[in-house]
Amino acid sequence: MKLLKWGFSILAGMAILVYAALVFIGQPKIEQSMNRVVAHDPFQVGRAARDLHNRLVIADLHCDSTLWARDLARKSTYGHVDIPRLQAGNVALQMFTAVTKSPRGQNYEENTDSFDNITILSLAQLWPPSTWNSLTARAVYQAEKLHGVAARVPEQFRVVTTAGELARALAERNKTQGKAGPVIGLLGIEGLHSLEGEIGNIATLYDAGYRMMGLHHFFDNKTGGSLHGISRAGLTEFGKSVVRELDRRSVIIDLAHSSPKVVEDILELSTRPQVVSHTGVSGHYKSPRNISDDLMQRIAEKGGLIGIGYWKGAVGDISPENIVRSIAYAVDLVGEDHVCLGSDFDGSTTVAFDTSELAVITREMMRRGFSEERIEKIMGKNTVDFLLANLPG
């Protein structure tokens, strides 16, 4: 009996060691290999650019930070986004976008949904068992994580779901007299395979707080074809029903990762404007990740937004100078009222800076001769105005 007790004790001790290794060694190593910042000397941002940057209301339309095990309430030495670094970068509003399934390699050319990285990640990060086999549960869990951050640090961060809540949160930030106010978070989702083929799960995601939903990620699903899938098809009948239900609920549709035919179908079917939350512009950088300039113009003509990203697949050269060249091309293409920031921070991307260093983009816009009004629009006003007009009332 004593030997049996010793055996159980040894097994329990081994389990604790394995758990500790996953939490304190394995999880950080996984993310450090996926979300990298190129080593660089501190950016030199002059006083004029810094003063302007600190006056701006800055918004970013896409990051995948809820996917990872880091505590977003605490400043980290790796990854791209957390609340302290958002405050350091003077970011007022951040869209946190949940990833629920991802194929091996995340190939821009062609993918099937036969292998799933997120299943492995959920096990490695010790997500609840309910998430291991349910994509809907994975989305709900990531929303709960973000709401949990807001509950723990309400003076630094809050999640909003309506235009009224956003307006009140922005007004509160205006009262901080130059100090970093609470960061405002919103919830988006990357791919409605998370519906698991059930239109009723839109209500589940909506109740969890999701207010922006993209139909696709890296593979085709029941709603239609992905930009990186096999079929390149347009909306299915199920997809059309999903679009109508999203419109009915005033959920913003994100066109990122959808096939050109799906984009065309949504532009014709939906009664509301859409966004491409994180992208490059094909005329600036030819990439299978970027849809045509013509489609970008049609999205803007309908009142939509184009969020310019910071990673190689979207813009090629990831330097701040080239990111602003991409922004300038987009402004020339669709107008300054339809261009915004869509970083794809923490989206398994390598970037030149994290969110705390965002003033370098303001600096580059000034160097390029952008007016203060144009800089203000691109850095956040366009996104804020769009959300105030299109979030549920």
Q: Which CATH class is domain 35-390?
A: alpha beta
**pTM of the predicted model over 0.75:** yes
* Domain edges within the chain: 35-390
Q: Which residues lie below 8 Å from residue 203, measured CB to CB, with a gap of 6+?
A: none
| CA count, 13 A, side-chain hemisphere, 284 | 27
CA distance 318 to 324: 10
Strongest mean pLDDT among 8-17, 18-27, 30-39, 278-287: 278-287
Q: What is the tens place of the pLDDT at every residue in 55-105?
A: 999 999 999 999 999 999 999 999 999 999 999 999 999 999 999 999 987
Q: What is the tens place of the pLDDT at every residue in 182-227?
A: 999 999 999 999 999 999 999 999 999 999 999 999 999 999 999 9
Closest CA to 340 of 327, 352, 351, 350: 327
Radius of gyration of the chain (CA): 21
Mean pLDDT of the chain: 93
Q: How many CB atoms lie within 10 A of CB 97?
A: 32
How is residue 133 annotated by DSSP? S
Q: What is the tens place of the pLDDT at every residue in 353-382?
A: 999 999 999 999 999 999 999 999 999 999
pLDDT (average), residues 3-14: 52
pLDDT score for 234? 98
DSSP letter string over 145-163? Answer: HHHHHHHH-TTTEEE--SH
User: CB-based burial of residue 20 (10 Å sphere; 0-12 exposed, 13-18 middle, 19+ buried)?
Assistant: exposed
Stretch among 19-23, 116-120, 142-146 having the lowest mean pLDDT: 19-23
Label residue 254 by pLDDT band (50, 70, 90): very high
Is residue 94 a contact partner of residue 81, using CB atoms and an 8 Å limit? yes
